């Protein structure tokens, strides 16, 4: 198996970060969250999870850079001292060797610019922070990119039921994939017991189950309703936060994940898609943007050459992409 050490380290790092997030989600108080300069929310758990994952990677692969969503600039400001001390407290509960300086240094290992040569990791310590704050779905998303291609991905989904058919089953899944080797899921409580997962085999797009973001600012809900109608289904997409949507398609719980641009200038970030992308491809799925173009992870921290996302099980791919392209901008 290729990337065996990378996969083991990545799974364990995501497991630990997921534990931190789950511990923080219950009873999160105002002093444990903050608005970034772009007005998007960040919490002690986003920072703590980035510190845990990037410090594990620094120990195992000191030469590998990382593209992480968060940086420490706000945590270093005197007015955020309380937030910062909570981050250190949460991180130390999982890894007692971390201290204030090593937490800051680990977070700032995420400052790489990405690109088309060599290898680097990309991390979204909490994807779907808005879902996390609502007590709903979120994901810890980690991927390895080599010469511009995603080669490994791990998704920690602490609130996702292990059995897609049973919403009351144990919650907490890890999904992972290495390029060319299939996709797997294990309970977060026992990450050594992965079972192979695959997309559904629905071929009639009228029977396809669609999913999309909860946030109307992240995807155009009205346009997806038009697309499902054009494909012959009156059922609107079900809504879920984060890269758990890639998990849903990868394990046959949904057939299609649509992410339809809401504003012209928005560039999707590589950490919002890389892990879900490789898990989905290895589970048998297909993916492109809303113009039908392949996703390009080789040009920096964003997917600036792409517009939105269309991710599907294989047999509905062509009709769904055709309907999305026909639905225009």
Ligand X SMILES: Nc1ncnc2c1ncn2[C@@H]1O[C@H](COP(=O)(O)O)[C@@H](O)[C@H]1OP(=O)(O)O
Q: Catalytic: which of 43, 46, 228, 312?
A: 46
Read off the tokens for 18. 């997921």
| Complex with ligand X: residue 7 or 228, whichever CB lies closer | 228
Q: Does 69 bind Mg ion (CB under 5 A)?
A: yes
Closer of 9 and 66 to ligand X (Cβ)? 66
For residue 108, say whether it is annotated as part of any ligand binding site.
Answer: no
CB 169 within 8 A of CB 162: yes
CA dist 13 and 52 (Å) reads: 7
- Indicate whether 241 belongs to the interface with Mg ion (CB under 5 A): no
Note whether 215 and 260 are within 8 A (CB).
Answer: no
Q: Measured from the CB atom, is 245 or 315 closer to ligand X? A: 245
Q: Which residues contact 266 (CB under 8 A, 6 or more apart)?
A: none
Supply the minimum distance, in Å, between the C-beta of residue 21 and Mg ion. 11
Site for Mg ion in 96-155 (CB under 5 A): 124, 126-127, 129
Name the catalytic one among 43, 108, 122, 129. 129
Minimum CB separation of residue 272 from ligand X in Å reads 5
113-117: long-range pairs with CB below 8 Å, 24+: 113/67, 113/300, 113/301, 114/67, 114/145, 114/270, 114/297, 114/298, 114/299, 114/300, 114/301, 115/148, 115/298, 115/299, 115/300, 116/147, 116/148, 116/298, 116/299, 117/147, 117/148
Please check if 69 is assigned to a binding site: yes
Regarding 282 and contact with Mg ion (CB under 5 A), the answer is no
**Binding site annotation covers 127?**
yes
Given the complex with ligand X, which of 7 and 14 has the nearer CB atom?
14
Residue 95, marked binder: no
Give SS3 for 172: strand
193 is catalytic: no
Q: Which is nearer to ligand X, 80 or 262 (CB)?
A: 262
Least spacing, CB of residue 189 vs ligand X, in Å:
24
Interface residues with ligand X (CB under 6 A)? Answer: 40, 69, 127-128, 131, 213, 215, 217-218, 241-242, 262-263, 266, 272
DSSP 269: B
Q: Minimum distance between the CB of residue 182 and ligand X, rounded to whole angstroms?
A: 25
Smallest distance, ligand X to C-beta of residue 253, A: 16
Ligand-binding site membership of 200 (annotated): no
Contact criterion met (CB below 8 Å) for 14 and 156: yes
190 assigned to active site: no
Question: Which residue is listed with tokens 């810890």?
Answer: 140
Which residue carries 């600039």 as its tokens?
73
Say which residues have a Cβ less than 8 Å from residue 297's Cβ, sequence separation at least 6.
114, 145, 148, 149, 150, 270, 274, 277, 303
Which amino acids are annotated as binding site, given as ranges? 69, 124, 126-127, 272
Q: List, by residue number, the catalytic residues.
A: 46, 129
Binding site for Mg ion (CB under 5 A): 40, 69, 124, 126-127, 129, 272
Which amino acids are annotated as binding site for Mg(2+), given as ranges? 69, 124, 126-127, 272
């Amino acid at each position: 198996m290729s990337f065996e050490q990378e996969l083991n380290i990545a799974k364990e790092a995501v497991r630990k970060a997921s534990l931190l997030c789950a511990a923080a989600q219950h009873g999160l108080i105002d002093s444990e969250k903050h608005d970034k300069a772009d007005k998007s929310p960040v919490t002690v758990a986003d920072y703590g999870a980035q510190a845990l994952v990037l410090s594990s990677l620094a120990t195992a692969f000191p030469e590998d850079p990382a593209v992480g969503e968060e940086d420490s600039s706000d945590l270093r400001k005197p007015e955020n001292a309380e937030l910062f001390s909570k981050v250190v407290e949460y991180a130390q509960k999982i890894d007692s060797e971390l201290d204030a300086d090593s937490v800051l240094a680990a977070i700032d290992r995420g400052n790489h610019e990405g690109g088309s040569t060599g290898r680097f990791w990309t991390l979204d310590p909490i994807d779907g922070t808005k879902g996390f704050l609502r007590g709903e779905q979120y994901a810890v998303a980690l991927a390895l990119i080599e010469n511009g291609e995603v080669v490994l991905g791990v998704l920690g989904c602490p609130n996702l039921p292990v059995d897609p058919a049973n919403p009351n089953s144990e919650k907490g899944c890890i999904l992972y994939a290495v390029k060319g080797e299939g996709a797997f899921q294990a309970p977060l409580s026992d990450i050594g017991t992965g079972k192979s997962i695959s997309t559904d085999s629905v071929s009639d797009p009228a029977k396809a189950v669609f999913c999309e973001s909860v946030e109307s600012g992240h995807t155009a809900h009205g346009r997806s309703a038009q697309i499902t109608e054009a494909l012959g289904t009156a059922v609107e997409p079900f809504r879920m936060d984060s890269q758990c949507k890639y998990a849903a398609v990868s394990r046959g719980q949904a057939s299609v994940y649509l992410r339809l641009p809401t504003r012209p200038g928005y560039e999707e970030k590589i950490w919002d898609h890389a892990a879900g992308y490789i898990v989905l491809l290895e589970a048998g799925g297909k993916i492109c943007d809303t113009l039908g173009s392949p996703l390009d992870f080789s040009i920096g921290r964003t997917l600036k050459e792409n517009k939105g996302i269309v991710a599907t099980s294989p047999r509905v791919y062509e009709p769904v992409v055709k309907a999305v392209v026909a639905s225009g901008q």
